[in-house]
C-alpha cells in the first residue's frame, strides 16, 4: 500500500504552499500542527525542485525511522537518487571528521562528545556548499546545529511544530520563523476530532486542535484497563482482531526494554510483528508494510499509522520519571496520540501514570470486545 496521498487529493491550502515554495528563492519555514501535511509538502516540493532544476537538495532529519519513511516515500515518487538524505547527527559527525575535529576524550558521554564537535564546527570555516537544505522536525535542532546549517546552505526550507519538541534544546521558534518567509498550515487532515480532543490534553500550547480538524468520526479512542500481567496478552488480542484489515499498525512505548519484552511475548504467541533492536535497521524498513511495527515514542516521531497502540507509560519506569522531570513527558504522549490516522488504543494498568490514568472519553462505551465499528 502507498504511504503517500496522491497530489490531486491534497487540499488547496497544501497545494498552494507547494506552489509558493517551488517558486520562492529565499528561506522558508512551514509550521503546522500534527497531521497538517508538512511532510507531504516537503516531499512534493522536493519532487518539483529536482524535476525543474539541476539542484541536488540535502534532506535532513533527526532519526532513523523518519529516514526510512522518507526514503520509501521518495522512492515511490521516483526521485530517491536525486537528493542526499541524512540524519543530522551522522551528518555533523562526518563534517567534523572531514575537518579533522575529534573529541579529546572518547570515554566521555555521547552528549559531551557531540557538543564538542558542534562547538568546534561553529567556529570553523564552513563553505556554502548546499544549494538547498530541507530540515524536517526543525524544533528538535540544537542552536549550534541551526547556525551551522545557515552557514553551509544558500537556501533553507524548514518544517516543524514547536509543540512537538521531544528533545531538550534552546532553539527558539522566533529564530527559525524570522529567518525568511513564514507559512502556517491551519487544517489537520490525518486524524479525526475525537483524537484531536484527546491530544489537546497534552498540548503544551493548549492549541485548539479540534477546530482545525476536517474529519469527523463516531470512532472513539479506546482506553483499555488491564492488570499489568495481562498487558501483553491484551495487545496480542488487539493485533489479532485488526490484522485482517491490512492497515498499518504502530505499537508505541517510551521504553525500549518494554518493547523488547513485548516482542519476545508476541514471538512466543506467533503474532507477526517487526521490531528492530538496532534503530539503524529502520532505515531499510518497508513502511508500506501492514505488519505491526514496534517503536519507541522517539522513533515514532514524524510517522503515521491507521492503528496506534500506546502502552508502557508507567510510574515505575525511570525513563518516564526523567521525561517528567525534564518537562518532556506531555510532549511524548502528545506525539504518540497524534501518530494515528483513525484508531487509537491506550493500554492502562495499575502502574500507569496519573496523566493517562485520569483520561476520560466522552460517551465512553465498554471496550472488552473490539467491534467492526472500532476498526473503521
pLDDT > 80? residue 135: yes
Give the residues across from 134 on adjacent strands. Answer: 59, 157
Our separate counts of H helices and E strands in the chain read 14, 11
Say whether pTM exceeds 0.85: yes
Question: Which residues have a Cβ under 8 Å from the Cβ of 267 and sit 6 or more positions away?
Answer: 273
The reported pLDDT for the residue numbered 206 is 81
The x, y and z cell numbers of residue 28, run together, are 522558508
**DSSP letters for 217-249:** -S---EEEE--GGGHHHHHHHHHHHHGGG---E
Superfamily of domain 7-184: P-loop containing nucleotide triphosphate hydrolases (3.40.50.300)
Cα separation, 360 vs 375, in Å, equals 20
| The three cell numbers locating residue 230 | 495481562
* CATH placement of domain 193-375: 3.40.50.300
φ, ψ at 274 (rounded to 5°) = -120, 130
Q: Which of 187, 247, 337, 215 is nearest to 1 (CA)?
A: 247
C-alpha to C-alpha distances, 353 to 312, 313, 340, 358, nearest whole angstrom: 9, 6, 21, 9
Please give the pLDDT value at position 23. 81
304, 342 Cβ separation under 8 angstroms? no
Residues 6+ apart with CB under 8 A from 350: 227, 228
Which three cell numbers mark 40?
A: 507531504
Which position has the higher pLDDT, 262 or 2?
A: 262
Distance CA 348, CA 353 (A): 9
**For the segment 194-231, what is each residue's pLDDT rounded down to a tens digit?**
999 999 999 888 878 899 998 888 889 999 999 999 99
DSSP labels for 84-150? EEEEHHHHHHHHHHHTT---S-TTS-HHHHHHHHHHHHHHS-----BS-EEEESGGG--HHHHHHHH
Q: Phi and psi at residue 347, in whole multiples of 5°?
A: -90, 125
pLDDT tens-digit series, residues 100-133: 999 999 999 999 999 999 999 999 999 999 999 9
Q: Which of 365, 323, 315, 375 is nearest to 344 (CA)?
A: 375
- Residue 53 pLDDT level (bands cut at 50, 70, 90): confident
In terms of Cα–Cα distance, which of 70, 89, 226 is closest to 148?
A: 89
Cell, residue 375: 476498526
Interatomic CA distance for residues 272 and 314, integer angstroms: 25
On whether the CB atoms of residues 271 and 236 are closer than 8 A, the answer is yes
Mean pLDDT of 33-51: 89
Domains 7-184 and 193-375 share a fold: yes
> For the CA atoms of the chain, what is the radius of gyration?
21
Question: Contact, 224 vs 374, CB < 8 A?
Answer: no
Q: Is 24 left (phi over 0), alpha (psi -120 to 50) or beta?
A: beta
pLDDT of residue 306 exceeding 80, the answer is yes
pLDDT at 374: 40
% of the chain surpassing 90 pLDDT: 69
Which residue carries 465498554 as its cell? 366
The β-bridge partners of 188 are 213
Please, what is the Cα angle at 91 between 87 and 97, to 5 degrees? Answer: 150
Query: Is the pLDDT confidence value at 375 over 50?
Result: no
pLDDT of residue 102: 97
Per-residue pLDDT, 366: 44
pLDDT band for position 1 (cuts 50, 70, 90):
low
pLDDT of residue 2: 66
The mean pLDDT of the chain is 90
Query: What are the domain boundaries of the chain?
Result: 7-184, 193-375
Amino acid at each position: 500500500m502507498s504511504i503517500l496521498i496522491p497530489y490531486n487529493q491534497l487540499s488547496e491550502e497544501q497545494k498552494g504552499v507547494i506552489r509558493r515554495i517551488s517558486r520562492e528563492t529565499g528561506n522558508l519555514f512551514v509550521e503546522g500542527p500534527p497531521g497538517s501535511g508538512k511532510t507531504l509538502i516537503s516531499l512534493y516540493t522536493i519532487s518539483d525542485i529536482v524535476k525543474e532544476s539541476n539542484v541536488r537538495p540535502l534532506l535532513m532529519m533527526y532519526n532513523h525511522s523518519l529516514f526510512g519513511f522518507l526514503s520509501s516515500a521518495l522512492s515511490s515518487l521516483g526521485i530517491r537518487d536525486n537528493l542526499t538524505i541524512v540524519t543530522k547527527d551522522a551528518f555533523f559527525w562526518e563534517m567534523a571528521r572531514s575537518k579533522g575535529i575529534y573529541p579529546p576524550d572518547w570515554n566521555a558521554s555521547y552528549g559531551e562528545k557531540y557538543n564538542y564537535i558542534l562547538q568546534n564546527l561553529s567556529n570553523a570555516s564552513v563553505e556554502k556548499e548546499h544549494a538547498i537544505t530541507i530540515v524536517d522536525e526543525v524544533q528538535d535542532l540544537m542552536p549550534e546545529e541551526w547556525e551551522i546549517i545557515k552557514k553551509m546552505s544558500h537556501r533553507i526550507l524548514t518544517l516543524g511544530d514547536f509543540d512537538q519538541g521531544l528533545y531538550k534544546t534552546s532553539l527558539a521558534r522566533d529564530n527559525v520563523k524570522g529567518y525568511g518567509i513564514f507559512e502556517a498550515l491551519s487544517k489537520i487532515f490525518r486524524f479525526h476530532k475525537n483524537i484531536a480532543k484527546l491530544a489537546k490534553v497534552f498540548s503544551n500550547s493548549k492549541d485548539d486542535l479540534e477546530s482545525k480538524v476536517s474529519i469527523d468520526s463516531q470512532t472513539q479512542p479506546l482506553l483499555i484497563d488491564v492488570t499489568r500481567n495481562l498487558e501483553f496478552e491484551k495487545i496480542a488480542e488487539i493485533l489479532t482482531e485488526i490484522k485482517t484489515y491490512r492497515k498499518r499498525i504502530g505499537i508505541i512505548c517510551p521504553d525500549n526494554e518494554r518493547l523488547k519484552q513485548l516482542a519476545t511475548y508476541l514471538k512466543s504467541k506467533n503474532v507477526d510483528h517487526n521490531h528492530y533492536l538496532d534503530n539503524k535497521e529502520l532505515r531499510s524498513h518497508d513502511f508500506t508494510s501492514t505488519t505491526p511495527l514496534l517503536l519507541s515514542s522517539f522513533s515514532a516521531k514524524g510517522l503515521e499509522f491507521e492503528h496506534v497502540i500506546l502502552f508502557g507509560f508507567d510510574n515505575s519506569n525511570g525513563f518516564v520519571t526523567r521525561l517528567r522531570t525534564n518537562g518532556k513527558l506531555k510532549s511524548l504522549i502528545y506525539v504518540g496520540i497524534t501518530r494515528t490516522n483513525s484508531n487509537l488504543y491506550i493500554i492502562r494498568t495499575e502502574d500507569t501514570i496519573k496523566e493517562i490514568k485520569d483520561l476520560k472519553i466522552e460517551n465512553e462505551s465498554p471496550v472488552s470486545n473490539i467491534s467492526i465499528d472500532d476498526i473503521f
